[in-house]
Amino acid sequence: MKNIFKEERQLFCFSVLIMIFFIGFLPACSGGKEPPKPRPVPVVVAEAVQKTVPVQVRTIGNVEPYATVSIKARVGGELQQVNFKEGQDVKKGDLLFVIDPRTWEAALKEAQARLARDKALANKARVDAVRYAELVRREFVSREQYEQAGATSESLQATVQADEKSVESARLQVSYCYIHAPLTGRTGNLLADQGNLIKADADKAMVVINQVQPIYVSFSVPEQYLPDIKKYMAAEKIKVEAIIATDEKNPAEGILTFINNTVDIATGTILLKATFDNQDKRLWPGQFVNTVMTLTTEPDAVVVPSQAIQTGQAGQFVFVINPDLTAETRPVVVGRSMDGEVVVKQGVKAGEIVVTDGQLRLVPGAKVEVKKPEGPAKP
């Protein structure tokens, strides 16, 4: 038994000596070199800048005509003239339609003839009344005859007034045969052609005219914006931009002119309208546009590119590059975003450098290598 313990003890000591030998031998084999250091992480960076940013509300709007008029005939008859083509721009006062006026002109002449006849009778009755006044004073006629002459004169004067109204009405009916444009705008689909028999006050309009200069853009925003909208609108004009999908770089500019008198309880939004001059006629009724309403501006705001904002378990953060080219995580409180930039309310100061690309390989304290953003691939 003692021999067995002795052999095991000798074997253990031999193993320890071998391990010490190899531990001392390994540095000699390695030549005394230190293990390689980790390479810097390549990143793209940007500077946090301080500038004035607009306070904006973005939504989708719909273009509406400033005014719409449905043209209907007030008198019936044959349509003799159509003086425009459908889809044509017309000016206020332009003659659009002519309905056969002969029937109404005949009625006008008849009314004028009655007026002339009754005027003659009224003049004769007035002269008789004057003459009877002198005769009754001299007692050549009875007072009853005098009163009868006066009543006849007054009756005929009333008849003349009624005839004048009839002439005025007949002249108005004739004017209805000539239909003029009530506003400047663009005509739509023509629903009555020359030669058609037109019915007075028909169910369908002969043509619809939309006023497109100026023009409205209507849009809805959440009701929580209503107090700010009312406050800023009372102080100054609120600018609204309408962005057309095919021409995003040249938005049309208008002014907020209408706030609806109630909030839509189904959606929790309030309807607004902005007025645009639309001199180039880029906005068209029924068109959908992106609207940007600028309420006010926020001076001295710190902004960073939106790509710099990262989200972790503790919330949003950015990687800030220190002067010694090491990365530091910085929790941030962000505000509005616009045009690829985000307002940082807390966590980053103006002038600090933040990482916009390469965050996946970064850890706090890691060395970085700043590289330029990649441009378009070369052929």
Tell me the DSSP string of 259-313: EEEEEETTTTEEEEEEEE--TT----TT-EEEEEEEEEEEEEEEEEEGGG-EEET
User: pLDDT tens-digit profile of 4-28?
Assistant: 445 555 555 555 455 554 454 444 4
Q: What is the pLDDT of residue 125?
A: 83
% of the chain with per-residue pLDDT over 90: 63
Domain span including residue 355: 43-50+300-370
295 pLDDT above the threshold of 70: yes
The domain spanning residue 111 has which CATH number?
1.10.287.470
Q: Which amino acid is at 21?
A: F
- Give 167 or 335, the one with higher predicted confidence: 167
140 pLDDT above the threshold of 50: yes
* Band of residue 275 on the pLDDT scale cut at 50, 70, 90: very high
Q: What is the pLDDT of residue 34?
A: 60
Q: Is 214 left (phi over 0), alpha (psi -120 to 50) or beta?
A: beta
Q: What is the pLDDT of residue 1?
A: 46
Kindly state whether residues 238 and 281 are assigned to the same domain.
yes
Kindly state whether residues 230 and 276 are assigned to the same domain.
yes
Q: For the residues 336-341, what does the mean pLDDT come to? A: 84
Instruction: Phi first, then psi: give them for residue 181, nearest 5 degrees.
Output: -70, 125
Kindly state whether residues 225 and 278 are assigned to the same domain.
yes
Q: What is the pLDDT of residue 7?
A: 55
Q: Domain for residue 4, yes or no?
A: no
User: pLDDT tens-digit profile of 31-85?
Assistant: 545 666 678 889 999 999 999 888 889 999 999 999 999 999 999 999 999 999 9
Q: Domain for residue 107, yes or no?
A: yes
Residue 346 to residue 328: CA distance in whole angstroms: 16
Q: What is the pLDDT of residue 335?
A: 86
Kindly state whether residues 293 and 215 are assigned to the same domain.
yes
110 pLDDT above the threshold of 60: yes
Q: What is the pLDDT of residue 5?
A: 47
Kindly state whether residues 363 and 323 are assigned to the same domain.
yes
Q: Name 333's Cβ contacts closer than 8 Å, sequence gap at least 6.
A: 316, 344, 345, 346, 347
Say if residues 305 and 340 touch (Cβ distance below 8 Å).
yes
Q: What is the pLDDT of residue 374?
A: 64
Q: Which of 56-60, 144-148, 276-280, 355-359 has the lowest mean pLDDT?
A: 144-148
Residue 77 to residue 21: CA distance in whole angstroms: 123
Q: For the residues 252-278, what does the mean pLDDT come to? A: 96
Rounded mean pLDDT of the chain? 87
The domain spanning residue 181 has which CATH number?
2.40.50.100
Q: Which amino acid is at 5?
A: F
Q: What is the pLDDT of residue 211?
A: 96
Beta-bridge partners for 82: 97
Nearest to 45 by CA among 352, 364, 347: 352
Q: Which of 12-26, 65-79, 229-243, 343-357 has the lowest mean pLDDT?
A: 12-26
Kindly state whether residues 164 and 199 are assigned to the same domain.
no
Q: Domain for residue 159, yes or no?
A: yes
Stated pTM of the model: 0.71
378 pLDDT above the threshold of 70: no
